[in-house]
Amino acid sequence: MTFLRRIVNRGVRELTAYPLATVGSILLMIGLLGGIQLAHRIGSLNLLVIVVISLIIMGIVALRVVDRELSKHF
């Protein structure tokens, strides 16, 4: 439980320390969700696959960046 609390505290600190990155990541997620809805509405499976793969890749990159930044601070 303390480990989870520590992660939440780090996350809150990161969000308050980098507000521009937080806003950018929220806008990116909104854009990707919009892309998934657009692909679903059009009915194009190829577009849906491309959006999902890009979402996975960006998630992995974001996790690596956050991990690197957190290891600098702690």
DSSP line for 26-48: HHHHHHHHHHHHHHHHHT-HHHH
**pTM, to two decimals:** 0.42
| pLDDT reported for residue 61 | 78
CA distance 33 to 35: 5
pLDDT averaged per 10 residues in sequence order, the chain, 74 residues? 71 68 74 75 74 77 75 70
CA distances from 64 to 13, 35, 70 (A): 17, 24, 10
